[in-house]
Amino acid sequence: MAVQKSIPIVDLSAFCTEGKTESRLESARALYQSCHDLGFVQILGHGVDTELLREAFDWSEKLYSLSHDDKMKAPHPDGPVPHRGYSHPGLEKVYSEAEGNSKDAIETDGDSLRQVKDFKESYEIGSEENSAQQNIWLPEEVLPGFRSFMTDFFWELDRAARRILEAVSLALGLTEVEKGHLFDLHSGHNNQLRLLHYPPIPTEKLRRQVVARMPAHCDWSTFTMLFQDDCGGLEFEDPNNPGSFVPAAPTTGALALNIGDMLQRFSNDVFLSASHRVTLPPQAASTNHMHEAVTRQRFSIPYFVAPDADKTVSCFSSCVNDEHPMKFEPVSFAEYGASISRYQYKRKATAAV
């Protein structure tokens, strides 16, 4: 019988200001191992305050307790860009790169991907100074204080992202010049904060895939820092055993870190972009009036750390040699993202499921 893998935990507290070189090296080695073998890892010592995180989840609960009409006062526009504001259940469709490139998807302008809808709602937030993707806020009186909290929280998460970028640079053995370049490419203004809510749903519907929570996909960012509540259901694909998924059970104080397509490119395949999905949580919560088992609702907060849109992403020389020639052509993040996400939103939006 195959042994069920568990997700390694790496503590990055050595990357705070007074961290010792020896402890940094040790954490970087552990980070290297997981990102190289699996493309994902759990991170402790990330530096995001527990109380602040609790507040962020409270705001998310308040947001999703609003009426549909109130949430629709900040509607996600048709099409994938800007990726901002509120997406009602069924609006956004997540898919893998292979599904997006399939003949069916191309011929139907993405409609074939929508046969199984994603039963989740989300709210996307970016930097207030990103002019290409401007934020879409609820009117202040609908959720007073939300905008101000999220604007600060966005930059608090960027601080933790920098600690991870520092650890990644050491893990990959980048030169000081390359590390400087990596930081230059990541001003933070193209990061994205996402508040996700998966409403309760009959277990059978998920099991029979009449609807999905979030199908398997890779993120196209550099990496994603993910905070989740205690519901469960997030899983990562084992790259050594394709098709087999490992649960990322919520771990107190840890964030789940997954490598995205950009870091796979920067590192010339040394770090793997991790395929992941959200599916049935381990336990059914209750039964509904039809006596069907119903899964718990789930809240998660991913923070996508991405290069600035117009900058070029190419492999670092430190990751290229005779044995490992350059595998990826340089690409701008904006072009890459546009091609990967072209069917995520219909050009003309449809009604809620």
Residue among 265 and 298 whose Cβ is closer to ligand AKG? 298
> How many H-runs (helices) and E-runs (strands) does the chain carry?
10, 19
DSSP assignment of 245-279, as one string? EEE----TT-EEEEE-HHHHHHTTTSSPPPPEEE-
Rounded to an integer, what is the distance from CA 308 to the centroid of its chain?
17
* Nearest residue relative to ligand AKG (C-beta): 300
Binds 163: which of Fe ion, ligand AKG, none (CB < 5-8 Å by kind): none
Instruction: Select the residue interacting with ligand AKG from 219, 235, 237, 261 (CB under 6 A).
Output: 219
Instruction: Select the residue interacting with ligand AKG from 83, 179, 276, 296 (CB under 6 A).
Output: 276
Residues in the chain: 353
CA distances from 317 to 173, 273, 307 (A): 11, 19, 18
Give the bridge partners for 192, in sequence order. Answer: 304
Instruction: Tell the smallest beta-carbon distance from residue 147 to ligand AKG (Å).
Output: 21
Instruction: Select the residue interacting with ligand AKG from 14, 35, 170, 214 (CB under 6 A).
Output: 214
Instruction: Tell the smallest beta-carbon distance from residue 217 to ligand AKG (Å).
Output: 7
CA distances from 278 to 188, 310, 331, 345, 349 (A): 26, 31, 29, 19, 24
Q: Is 275 near ligand AKG (CB under 6 A)? A: no
CA distances from 186 to 7, 103, 122, 162 (A): 27, 35, 24, 9
Q: Tell me the per-residue interface mask from 214 to 253 with Fe ion, x by CB under 5 A, - otherwise.
A: -----x----------------------------------
Question: Which range binds ligand AKG by CB under 6 A, 162-170, 226-234, 279-287, 341-349?
Answer: 226-234
What distance, in Å, lies between the first and last C-alpha atoms of the chain? 40
Q: Tell me which residues touch Fe ion (CB under 5 A).
A: 219
Q: Tell me which residues touch ligand AKG (CB under 6 A).
A: 194, 196, 214, 219, 226, 228, 234, 276, 278, 300, 302
